[in-house]
A and B are shown apart, each in its own frame.
Chain A
């Protein structure tokens, strides 16, 4: 028995309202999950980048300490070389001064230059020439000066002049 002339429409749970609601929340949830996924991805990238930076920093630190060591060695070499070159130059000047100190009337036969002393062997016409022209300047340089003479064949005098610088006095003068 029919009570209506129209065909009954099929009832569905997805009414227009529900569809609208699902669409709205669907978009919202999609955006939320997309943001969450983006944050997770960035977090993963941050971790990777931090690790990379840490490794690079370690590498740079090792490199810097290696360079520092090389710099220290080069500076040490440079300083020592400078010291040695200066010492050689000073030695050259000292020997030059020593030979300039000897007057033309006195002839040296031997010279021994030591760290803190000088021994000269030579020949002089007489004691006065030696005393005034060689011993006086030597006395002004050295703390202790000893001289001994013995006659040479030609009537001149052979001499041995021993001169020392006292390290203690030198340090007290400084």
Chain B
């Protein structure tokens, strides 16, 4: 039995085969690898997005911690940033003493990363209780002040003259700019 293909049918068959091969090659060589890559990238992007969200949440948490810390220590942080002013200190603490004089001395050695100024104080008090009240008030003052040794008390008639040094702590420039 002899099968006769017309020329037109042969053209049709060739064209069909060519297009089919093109579709298959394009699909397997281009589309499927690209599709796989797309899926991988989608997963990767999702992971990156989750990472970004976690980082963002972490940043918010840190900010909350910082704000809480700053609001809890508002007085302390402000006090560390305030430059010591002898006249203002005298004015604020004069009521504890009959007389008070402050002499700001030179900058002392840095302590724990903070700059320290030594201040010499001479005063007269009517009773030790005034000094106790002064020590309470120093902790609430506008500066971070440590009353330092040596402390001298000397009876002077009805009064007690006292002399002592104080250390005033300030932010170092590097801390302040941070």
Residues of A in contact with B (beta carbons under 8 Å apart):
15, 17-18, 21, 25, 28-29, 32, 35-36, 39-40, 42-43, 46, 49-50, 53, 56-57, 60-61, 63-64, 67-71, 73-78, 80-81, 84-85, 87-89, 91-92, 95-96, 99, 108-115
Contact present for A76 and B113 (CB under 8 Å)? yes
Contact present for A88 and B138 (CB under 8 Å)? yes
5 contacts between A and B (CB under 8 A): A77-B80, A80-B114, A81-B79, A92-B135, A92-B136
**Contact bitstring B10-42, A, C-beta under 8 A = 1, else 0:** 001001100100110011001100110110011
- A112 contacts which of B30, B41, B150 (Cβ < 8 Å)? B150
Give the docked Cα–Cα distance between A53 and B44 (Å).
Answer: 12
Q: Which residues of B contact A25 (CB under 8 A)?
A: 19, 23
Which residues of chain B from 87 to 133 have any CB-CB distance to chain A below 8 Å in the complex? 112-114, 128, 131-132
- B8 contacts which of A15, A57, A87 (Cβ < 8 Å)? A15
In the assembled complex, the CB of A120 is this many whole angstroms from the nearest CB of chain B, namely 10
In the assembled complex, the CB of A95 is this many whole angstroms from the nearest CB of chain B, namely 7
Look across to chain B and name the residue whose beta carbon is closest to the beta carbon of A63. B59
Q: Is the interface of A mostly helix, strand, loop or mixed?
A: helix
Look across to chain B and name the residue whose beta carbon is closest to the beta carbon of A80. B112
Q: Which residues of A contact B76 (CB under 8 A)?
A: 77-78, 81
Known A46-B41, A57-B51; judge A114-B131 contact (CB<8 A).
no
Contact present for B114 and A70 (CB under 8 Å)? no
> For the complex, is B73 an interface residue (Cβ under 8 Å from A)?
yes
Contact present for A18 and B66 (CB under 8 Å)? no
In the assembled complex, the CB of B55 is this many whole angstroms from the nearest CB of chain A, namely 5
Give the docked Cα–Cα distance between A15 and B9 (Å).
Answer: 11
> For the complex, is B83 an interface residue (Cβ under 8 Å from A)?
no
- B56 contacts which of A39, A60, A68, A85 (Cβ < 8 Å)? A60
Which residues of chain B from 123 to 178 have any CB-CB distance to chain A below 8 Å in the complex? 128, 131-132, 135-136, 138-139, 144-147, 149-155, 169, 171, 175, 178
Give the docked Cα–Cα distance between A42 and B76 (Å).
Answer: 54
Contact present for A111 and B37 (CB under 8 Å)? no
Contact present for A39 and B38 (CB under 8 Å)? yes
Q: Which residues of A contact B146 (CB under 8 A)?
A: 84, 87-88
- B135 contacts which of A50, A89, A114, A115 (Cβ < 8 Å)? A89
Contact present for A71 and B69 (CB under 8 Å)? yes
In the assembled complex, the CB of B127 is this many whole angstroms from the nearest CB of chain A, namely 10
Contact present for B169 and A78 (CB under 8 Å)? no
- A36 contacts which of B34, B49, B73, B79 (Cβ < 8 Å)? B34
Q: Which residues of A contact B136 (CB under 8 A)?
A: 92
Give the docked Cα–Cα distance between A63 and B66 (Å).
Answer: 12
Q: Which residues of B contact A40 (CB under 8 A)?
A: 34
In the assembled complex, the CB of A61 is this many whole angstroms from the nearest CB of chain B, namely 7
Known A35-B31, A115-B149; judge A56-B135 contact (CB<8 A).
no
Give the docked Cα–Cα distance between A110 and B132 (Å).
Answer: 17
Give the docked Cα–Cα distance between A112 and B23 (Å).
Answer: 102
- A53 contacts which of B19, B37, B52, B59 (Cβ < 8 Å)? B52
